[in-house]
Amino acid sequence: MDRQAAQYQLRNLGRINVVLGKNGSGKSTLLKAIEQNLEADGEKRYVTPERGGTLTYEADVEHSLTTNSDWLRSSRRVNQFIRFRQQSMAQFRRLELAVFRGSEGVTVADFQPYVDRLNGLLDNIEIERNSTTFDIYSARDGQRVMVPASDISSGESELISLGIEALAFAEELDQERENYLILDEPDVHLHPDLQGRLMAFLVALVDDYKFNVLLATHSTAILGGLADVPGTGVAFMQSGDTELIFEQITELHRRVLPVFGAHPLSNIFNEAPVLIVEGEDDERVWQQAIRTAGGGLRVYPVACENGVSGMSTYEQEVRRIIRAVYENAVGFSLRDRDDTEGEIEDEPPIRRMKLACRAAENLILSDDVLAGQSLTWEQIQGRIAEWLEHNPEHPASGAMADFRASGFDRKTADLKRIRNLLTGAILDSNKSWEVLAGQAIGRLAVNGVVTSPGDNSLQAYLGTKTVQVLF
């Protein structure tokens, strides 16, 4: 579905639509234009980005809501509204009255599912209906102790307020018309795991009540919380954009989102930039390198799902996310050299690199890895000759013989078929080749690079640009 609002064109809208952009990109201006001009004759509610106030019921707020049908909408068209949460509390009371008036025979028990939904957002406190709105209790150690609204955390207050807003909106829908809940930065004051919980709450409401959501955020944790939800689209907004095209969240997004903070335990992006690599083997190499370096190497490796053929797609998508979320950030990509010579040009903010050796498995025959196993290259050649003599029927003997016939070109030969054999039978290691290569890279990060590395050093195999950029 496409929509037009003032100067903005929104394309491919679905049930849940996320605008991801950094501060100053124009997200709030966009949402306000949509709230005022959306070409849908239906219920719309805009939730302002700076939501002040406390969770207290104030009669004058309810009076204003009741006597002025436009007060709620007009008061929220500013970015900061200091009595937002008081409005939420008044809406909770109106929600309760609406439920009781909805049909005959409704009891207090019939309203409890609404309270239960809100409590599902909370860990340390719970709410309980009272004669006016609700009371707040601490749930610590099984003891329920009344807590003043002013004493609960900003995150808990935010969750309750946003939960009420969504519930109240859902109950007011006209199912014959289009209905849009417009949320501006629902991540404010919320830890990433709570952002995910809020998204689960919102998805359940959308499924039950069948309304549409348009939300703006600069939190990739919000996007991560919606990654597996059908009908969710994302548009990346930069300053000056007037056409936004919403795209389905793909496997690519699921792989790279943890780098940008979509999981509460993820690295802060500017401290650990994404490193796109060709496959899961390469990803394991760099994961081991990071562990071995113990903080001396700060990247977050992400395996490209489709190998080298998908690298450009991953690079372009990461570029869009970086530009929409961060200032002065950078990302990296590292490809195998394969049969091509020369470096690869950067596509800022992505620094693009290639190994100087054929592929990651060639790293295990670098002098640094061999030294870590207390071996020399001469010993390796002797072991290979001996192995070929005693294993002529082995399935990999032809590939091993081809390697010898190449003049033992350990830097550019194709070792994929014999990499595990080299690791176990020739290097006599009980570790995988990925671990051996990763440990050597980690040691290099800790010990530092040298000015004139040997032709078969790990530095030479990684390549000058790779070493300069990553170390």
Listed residues 250, 265, 292: the one ending a domain = 250
What tokens appear for 197 in the block?
A: 């919980």
First to last CA, the chain: 47
Q: Which residues of 397-425 are buried (b: 16+ CB within 10 A; e: fewer)?
A: bebbeebeeeeeebbebbbeebbebbbeb
Same domain (yes/no): 192, 203: yes
Q: What per-residue confidence (pLDDT) applies to 101?
A: 66
* pLDDT exceeds cutoff 70 at 38: no
| 63 within a domain of the structure (yes/no) | yes
Residue 117 lies in a domain: no
Whether 247 and 13 have beta carbons less than 8 Å apart is answered as no
CATH number at residue 20: 3.40.50
Of the chain, the percentage scoring pLDDT greater than 90 comes to 45
Q: Are residues 241 and 261 in the same domain?
A: no
Q: Are residues 238 and 313 in the same domain?
A: no
Copy the structure tokens of residue 106: 């409704």
Task: Report the alpha-carbon angle 90-83-72, nearest 5.
Answer: 60
Residue 41 confidence (pLDDT) above 60: no
Give tens-digit pLDDT for 56-104. 878 887 777 778 767 777 777 666 667 788 888 888 888 887 777 666 6
Assess if residue 398 is contained within a domain: yes
C-alpha span between 315 and 320 (Å, rounded):
9
With bands split at pLDDT 50, 70 and 90, how would you rate the model's confidence at 192?
A: confident
pLDDT-derived band at 268 (thresholds 50, 70, 90) equals: very low
Residue with tokens 């609002």: 5
Sheet arrangement for strand 232-236: 44-47, 180-184, 212-217, 16-20, 232-236, 247-248
Least confident of 47-61, 98-112, 363-377, 452-466: 98-112
Of the candidates 204, 234, 250, which is a domain's last residue? 250
- The reply to whether 244 and 255 lie within a common domain is no
Structural domain including 80 reads 3-106+158-250
Task: Please state the pTM of the whole predicted model.
Answer: 0.72
Q: Which residues contact 321 (CB under 8 A, 6 or more apart)?
A: 20, 220, 236, 256, 260
- Per-residue pLDDT tens over the stretch 324-363: 877 778 899 999 999 888 889 999 999 999 999 999 999 9
Q: How confident is the model at residue 228 (pLDDT cuts 50, 70, 90)?
A: confident
Count up the domains in the chain and report the number. Answer: 2
- The per-residue pLDDT for 72 is 76
In whole angstroms, give the CA distance from residue 322 to residue 340. 29
Distance between CA atoms of residues 96 and 168, nearest Å: 9
User: Within this chain, do residues 170 and 310 fall inside the same structural domain, yes or no?
Assistant: no
Provide DSSP, 211-245.
-EEEEEES-HHHHHHTTT-TTEEEEE--TT--EEE
438 vs 141, higher pLDDT: 438
Q: Is residue 456 part of a domain?
A: yes
Q: What's the rounded Cα separation, in Å, for the pair 325 and 192?
A: 15
The whole-angstrom separation of Cα 459 and Cα 466 is: 9
Taking residues 193-219, what's their average pLDDT? 91
Segment 277-321, tens digit of pLDDT: 999 999 999 999 999 998 889 898 999 988 788 899 999 989 988
The most confident of 71-80, 140-149, 173-182, 393-402, by mean pLDDT: 393-402
Strand partners, 271: none
